[in-house]
Each structure stands twice: as structure tokens, then as C-alpha cells.
Amino acid sequence: MDSQTRLGLYKTMVLSRSFEEAILRDYHADKKPAWDIGAGLIPGEMHLSAGQEPVAAGVCAHLTADDAVTATHRPHHFAIAHGMDLRLLAAEIFGRETGLGKGRGGHMHLFDPSTHFSCSGIIAEGYPPALGQAFAFKRQGKDRVAVAVTGEGAANQGGFHESVNLASLWKLPVVFVIEDNDWAISVPRDSSTSIRSNAVRASSYGIRGARIQDNSVEGVWDAAKTAIEKARAGEGPSLIEVHTVRLWGHFEGDAQAYRDDLGSLIDPIPAYASQLESDGVLTTELAGKILKEAKRQVDDAVEFAKSSPLPSAADAEKYVFA
């Protein structure tokens, strides 16, 4: 893999992390002293993806804005890696009229026509609409693809099974991605899933399955390259499961009392930085510049969000119907 690509992956991950760190700060900032989930500039549930950036970066490196991505309740890393305008994203999270969904959607309901991005707060239910996007692309004679993401917990939901079967049957250009972060809220993988690797399940549908261990962004990049090329070439769907890591709890406020392996988690971003450094691709200075640029973008986006108007209460009933 060439250095530019590797640096690109690193930059994407840093941007995503920087964004979520900013959200994390503002999310908690004004909920004290009595922590109230509904209070503050950013209210509601907040599922952050810190630790899972390699999945999004590795997959989305092969996509253009014409390709579709449907993500989960934990969508920021994919939104950012797929090129969503940070300002629109931030403004939506802050519930502003300038947000992607004019403040109607919130962080689990991001719909971006310009990058064909969407997500859903209902687990596994992002898969089926991705089939429809892929179907449309195919009918329109384009080589565009749709990427559909779920967690390993979601892979035990019926919609997973139905979607992968149908995509295989109709040879739709879909790449199914499973983020296996070992946990579904408080339930560990071996209490939810009767086998070790969801890649095995690919054989139930006659499609290719791969599992990437170690949260390796380059491993993801490789597997996604093959899968996406095959999808573009009309060879139908593939399934990629990535063993990744949930660094910050299921949602903000989750005390994670059920979990005792927190000490052993490896943050993939510094890990990748060291690897790139020891390969001579990254220097401390360059890393600093990358981080600074990421923070600049994030600050700009957050500033845009905070200075944007809230929606008007009078408009609450707008947009139910087109």
C-alpha cells in the first residue's frame, strides 16, 4: 500500500476522532452537576465510535460520494470517512436548523443526499434500504455500490438474514460490513452469537466472507478493495466482519460496570501512528500537523453549529409529507 493511501487512512481516523472528542466535550459540558440526558447543548443518547475508526476509514477509502453508505446508531466515523460535510453533521447533532436534517433527525438519523449516506437507530434495519440503493444503481446501469453496516449484535436480527440472502440472490452491488466490537450494550458476543465469526455466515448465502482481526485499518482496506471491486464488476455482495473495539462505552453515560476488560483495549489510532512512524511514513511533526488540521475543521464545524439558529417551534409540523 502506498504511503499516500496510508496517510489518508490515518487522516480520516484522526478527523473522526477529533470530531467525536469535540462532541464528547460539549455533550457532557452542560449536563452537570446532576447528569441529565435531556439537558445541554447536545441532548439525547450519544453513541460514539471511538476505536472503530479503522472500519470506516478502510472501507470508505474505496468509495466516492456517488456510492451509498447506510450506517448504524453509531454512525459518525462512517459519515465522516464517507465525506459528509462536517458543518452539517455538527449542526444536526446540536439540533440546529442548519443541520443535515434541520434538527429533525439527530445523531442516529442522518440522511445526506449528497453522499448517499443514511443511518438508523434500529439495529440491522439499515441493511434493507441499502439493497434498494444498490438495486437502483444497478438498474441505472452505474457501477456504484452500497455499503451497509451493522454491529455484531445486530447480526442476530432477522433483517440481517433476509438482506444478505436477497442481495446474493439478486447479485446486488452491496458490501455488508459487521463491526464486531465484542459487545452489544452489556451483552458480550458469546452471549448473543452462536458462532465465533460472522464471516462464516457468508457461506449461508453463497457469498464471500472475510474477517479482519486486530482492528487493522489496512486489513480492512484490503478486504474492502476486493469486495467493492467485485460489487462494481457485477459479481454481487460480500460480507466483511472486522474485529474492532468500543473505547468509550455503549453510549455516553454508560458506566460499563458489566465489563472488566477495559484495561486491555488498544486504541487503534496511536497504534497506527507508531506503525506508520516506524515505517517512515509519518513523523511526529506531520502527525501534529494532521491533528491540527483535523481540529481546525472540527472547530469550524462546531463553531458553525453553535452559532446556527435553533429550529422554530412553529415549524415542528413541517416535513411530515413532501
Partner 1 sequence: MVLIDTSSASVTTRKLTTAKAMVEGISQEMELDQSVFVLGEDVGAYGGIFSSTTGLLEKFGPKRVLDTPISETAFMGLATGAAVEGMRPIVELMFVDFFGVCMDQIYNHMAKIHYESGGNVKVPLVLMTAVGGGYSDGAQHSQCLWGTFAHLPGLKVVVPSNPFDAKGLMISAIRDDNPVVYMFHKGVMGLPWMAKNPRSLGAVPEQSYEVPIGKASVVRTGKDVTIISLSLSVHHALDAADELATQGVDCEVIDLRSLVPLDRGTILESAGKTGRVLVVDEDYKSFGLSGEIAAVICESDPRLLKVPFARLAVPDVPIPYSRTLEYAVLPTADRIISEIKHLMG
Q: Which residues bind ligand TPP (CB under 6 A)?
A: 72-74, 121-123, 150-154, 157, 179, 181, 183-185, 246, 250
- The entry of its own copies, Mg ion, partner 1, none that residue 33 binds, CB within 5 to 8 Å by partner kind: none
Work out how close the CB of 306 gets to ligand TPP at its nearest, in angstroms, rounded to a whole number. 28
Contacts of 298 by beta carbon, 8 Å cutoff, 6+ apart: 15, 18, 19, 22, 86, 90
Q: Report the C-alpha gap between 130 and 1 in whole angstroms.
A: 29
Query: Which segment (23-31, 37-45, 133-141, 197-205) binds its own copies by CB under 8 A?
Result: 197-205
- Each residue 62-101 as x (binds partner 1 by CB under 8 A) or -, in order, gives ------x-x------------------------xx--xxx
Nearer to its own copies, 194 or 278 (CB): 194
> Exactly one of 102, 171, 225, 232 binds partner 1 (CB under 8 A); which one?
102
3-state secondary structure of 68: strand
Q: Does 181 bind Mg ion (CB under 5 A)?
A: yes
Distances (CA, A) of 50 to 20, 23, 46, 70, 163: 7, 11, 12, 18, 27
Contacts of 12 by beta carbon, 8 Å cutoff, 6+ apart: 53, 56, 57, 60, 61, 80, 81
> Exactly one of 165, 226, 256, 297 binds its own copies (CB under 8 A); which one?
165
Work out how close the CB of 133 gets to its own copies at its nearest, in angstroms, rounded to a whole number. 19
Q: Does 168 bind Mg ion (CB under 5 A)?
A: no
Q: Does 186 bind its own copies (CB under 8 A)?
A: no
Grid cell at residue 29 = 459540558
Grid cell at residue 46 = 450519544
- The entry of its own copies, ligand TPP, partner 1, none that residue 219 binds, CB within 5 to 8 Å by partner kind: none
Please measure the distance between the N-terminal and C-terminal CA atoms of the chain and give it in whole angstroms.
46
Nearer to partner 1, 18 or 118 (CB): 118
> Exactly one of 7, 11, 111, 222 binds partner 1 (CB under 8 A); which one?
111
Nearer to ligand TPP, 157 or 226 (CB): 157
Q: Report the C-alpha gap between 41 and 39 in whole angstroms.
A: 7
Grid cell at residue 101 = 436534517
Q: Report the C-alpha gap between 298 and 234 in whole angstroms.
A: 38
- Each residue 107-146 as x (binds its own copies by CB under 8 A) or -, in order, gives ----------------------------------------
- The entry of partner 1, its own copies, ligand TPP, none that residue 278 binds, CB within 5 to 8 Å by partner kind: none
Grid cell at residue 262 = 477495559
Grid cell at residue 241 = 466482519
Q: Report the C-alpha gap between 274 and 271 in whole angstroms.
A: 5
- The entry of ligand TPP, its own copies, Mg ion, none that residue 185 binds, CB within 5 to 8 Å by partner kind: ligand TPP
- Each residue 201-240 as x (binds partner 1 by CB under 8 A) or -, in order, gives ----------------------------------------
**Region 262-321 residues binding partner 1, contact defined as CB under 8 A:** 310-321
Distances (CA, A) of 214 to 190, 198, 244: 18, 15, 7
Grid cell at residue 295 = 481540529
- Contact residues for Mg ion (CB under 5 A)? 151-153, 181, 184
- Contact residues for its own copies (CB under 8 A)? 156-162, 164-166, 168-169, 191-195, 200-201, 203-207
